[in-house]
Amino acid sequence: MKRSENVHIGHCTTPHGIRGEFSFVLYNPEDSVLHDGAVVTLTPRAESSSIPQDGKEFTISKIKFGNKTIVTLEGVGDRNVVEAMVPFDIYFSRENFPETDPDEYYLNDLLGLEVIDFITKKPVGRVVDFYENGVQVVLKIKTEKEFIELLFIEQYVPVVDLEEGKMEVIVPMIIE
């Protein structure tokens, strides 16, 4: 399976302050690869965003990490412009990340994987998104009929095979 050139590292849905700053929500702020001068690609999350559908590159002029990640982008110095740009997703070039070991991968690499039932070996769906709930990563899987969410832990996801483009999951039984 071909890995994407850009890695989805977060999103932004709100401006910060009145000086044209953004409040970035990064999926891994503790080990962020972002820095002053880094080039990010932004893509719109909604039609209301002024960012072109195929995305646009921006250079970070200033980034501050803390309770929030506050970012200033070159060429954006007005809250009105910021409000017009949000909401958007943030991508960073894979070449700026450390190489992974053969048995490691980035969460972004799971997007699009076919999901197979570990026990029956029947197709379940496809990974379409993920998020962190504060403790674990939660995978969003689109089945034929619905979306299901599954904790990304070994008890539920015993097999991930990027080369084959699939993962095997143990689908929990819901007791009513």
Amino acid at 28: N
User: For 107-169, which CATH superfamily applies?
Assistant: PRC-barrel domain (2.30.30.240)
Phi, psi (rounded to 5 degrees) for 64: -125, 125
To the nearest whole number, what is the mean pLDDT of the chain?
90
pTM value is 0.73
Structure tokens given for 44: 């719109």
Query: What one-character DSSP code corresponds to residue 8?
Result: E
Does residue 2 carry a pLDDT above 70?
no
Predicted confidence at residue 165, as pLDDT, reads 94
Per-residue pLDDT reduced to its tens digit, 78-132: 999 999 999 999 999 988 888 888 778 888 889 899 999 999 999 999 999 888 7
Q: How many CA atoms lie within 13 A of 101 on its CB side?
A: 2
More confident residue, 31 or 107: 107
Residue ranges per structural domain of the chain:
6-96, 107-169
CA pair distance 106, 111, nearest whole angstrom: 10
Instruction: Say which CATH architecture domain 6-96 belongs to.
Output: Beta Barrel (2.40)
More confident residue, 159 or 101: 159
